[in-house]
Chains A and B, each alone.
Chain A
Amino acid sequence: MIEFEGVTKRYPDGTVAVEDLSLKVETGRITVFVGPSGCGKTTALRMINRMIQPTSGRILIDGDDVTSRPDADLRRGIGYVIQGAGLFPHRTVLDNVATVPVLQGVSRREARASARELLERVGLSANLGDRYPSQLSGGQQQRVGVARALAADPPVLLMDEPFSAVDPVVRDDLQQELLRLQGDLGKTIVLVTHDIDEAIRLGDKVAVFAQGARLAQYAAPADLLAVPADDFVSSLVGRDRGFRGLGFADGAEIALKPVGHTVDGLTLELDADGRPVGWRGPDGLLPTEGTFSDGANLRTITDLVILSPAGAAVRVDEHGRADGLVLVEDLAGRVRTQQRERLAALTQDQVEEAEAG
Chain B
Amino acid sequence: MSEIWNYLETNGSSVLTALVQHIWLALLPVAIAFVLALPLGALVHRYLPVRHVALTTGSVVYTVPSLALLLLLPGVLGTSVLDPTNVVIALTLYSLALLVRTTADGLDAVDTTVLQAATAMGYRPLRRWFTVQLPLAMPVVLTGLRVATVANVSMVSVAALIGIGGLGQLFTRGFQLGFYLPPIVIGLVLSVALAVVADVLIVAVQRGITPWARAGGR
Give A residues with C-beta under 8 Å from B. 49, 51, 71-76, 80, 82-84, 86-91, 99-100, 103, 131-135, 148, 158
Candidates B121, B122, B212, B218; contact of A90 at CB < 8 Å: B212
* In the bound complex, CA of A131 to CA of B121 (Å): 21
Report the count of interface residues on B (CB-CB < 8 A).
23
Q: A75-B122, A76-B122, A80-B121 are in contact. Are A134 and B114 (CB under 8 A)?
A: no
The reply to whether A99 and B121 form a contact with Cβ atoms under 8 Å apart is yes
User: In the complex, are the beta carbons of B119 and A86 less than 8 A apart?
Assistant: no
What are 11 pairs between A and B in contact, CB < 8 Å? A51-B120, A72-B122, A75-B121, A75-B122, A80-B120, A80-B121, A82-B120, A86-B117, A89-B111, A131-B215, A132-B212
Known: A72-B123, A132-B212. A88 touches B113 (CB 8 A): no
Binary A-proximity of B104-123 (CB < 8 A = 1, otherwise 0): 00000001011011111111
Q: Which residues of B contact A82 (CB under 8 A)?
A: 113, 116-117, 120
Tell me the bound Cα distance from A80 to B120 in angstroms.
6
| B129, chain A: closest CB distance, angstroms | 14
| B117:A75 contact, CB within 8 angstroms | no
Q: Tell me the bound Cα distance from A87 to B124 in angstroms.
A: 17
Residues on A with C-beta less than 8 A from B136 are: 88-90
Tell me if B49 is interfacial: C-beta within 8 Å of chain A. Answer: no
B residues at A contact (CB < 8 Å) = 111, 113-114, 116-124, 132, 135-136, 210-213, 215-218
CA distance A84 to B132 in the complex (A): 18
A9 → B minimal CB distance (Å)? 16
Name the one of A83, A90, A103, A132 contacting B123, with C-beta atoms under 8 angstroms: A103
CA distance A260 to B25 in the complex (A): 102
Q: Counting chain B CB atoms within 10 Å of each CB, which of A72, A74, A83, A91 scores highest? A: A72
- CB pair B122 A88 closer than 8 Å: no
Instruction: Specify which chain B residues have a CB less than 8 angstroms from the CB of A72 in the assembled complex.
Output: 122-124
Residue contact A51 to B116, C-beta cutoff 8 Å: yes
A84 partner residues in chain B, CB cutoff 8 A: 113
Instruction: Tell me the smallest distance from the CB of B218 to a CB of chain A, in Å.
Output: 5
A106 to chain B, nearest CB (A): 13
A134 and B215 contacting across the interface, CB-CB below 8 Å: yes
Tell me the minimal C-beta distance from B216 to chain A in angstroms.
Answer: 3
CA distance A271 to B114 in the complex (A): 62
Nearest CB on A from B217, distance (A): 8
Taking a contact as CB atoms under 8 Å apart, the answer to whether B113 and A100 are in contact is: no
* B120 touching A134, Cβ below 8 Å: no
Which A-B residue pairs are the 8 nearest by beta carbons? A134-B216, A86-B117, A76-B122, A80-B120, A75-B122, A132-B215, A86-B113, A135-B216
The chain B residue with its CB closest to the CB of A100 is B121
A159 → chain B closest CB, angstroms: 11
Residues in B with CB closer than 8 Å to A134 are 212, 215-218
Q: Is the CB of B116 within 8 A of A86?
A: yes
* Complex interface: chain A residues within 8 A of B218 (CB): 134
With beta carbons under 8 angstroms apart, the residue of A49, A75, A86, A103 that contacts B114 is: A86
Give the complex CA separation of A103 and B123 in angstroms: 7
Instruction: Give the residues in chain B near A83, CB-CB below 8 Å.
Output: 113
Give complex CA distance A148, B122 in Å: 12
Closest A residue, CB atoms, query B210? A90
Given known contacts A87-B114, A89-B136, A51 and B119 CB-to-CB distance under 8 angstroms = yes
User: Contacts A82-B113, A134-B215 hold; do A88 and B132 have CB atoms under 8 A apart?
Assistant: yes
CB distance from B18 to the nearest CB of A (A): 41
Q: How far is the CB of B19 from chain A (nearest CB, A)?
A: 37
Cα A71 to Cα B123 with chains together (Å): 9
Q: How far is the CA of A103 from the CA of B117 in the complex (A)?
A: 14
Q: Chain A's nearest CB lies how many Å from the CB of B111? A: 8
Q: Is the CB of B122 within 8 A of A100?
A: yes
- Alpha-carbon separation in the docked complex, A332 to B118 (Å): 54
Query: Cα distance A100–B116 when bound, in Å?
Result: 14
Q: Which residue of B lies closest to A73 (CB)?
A: B122
Across-interface contacts of A73 in B (CB, < 8 A): 122
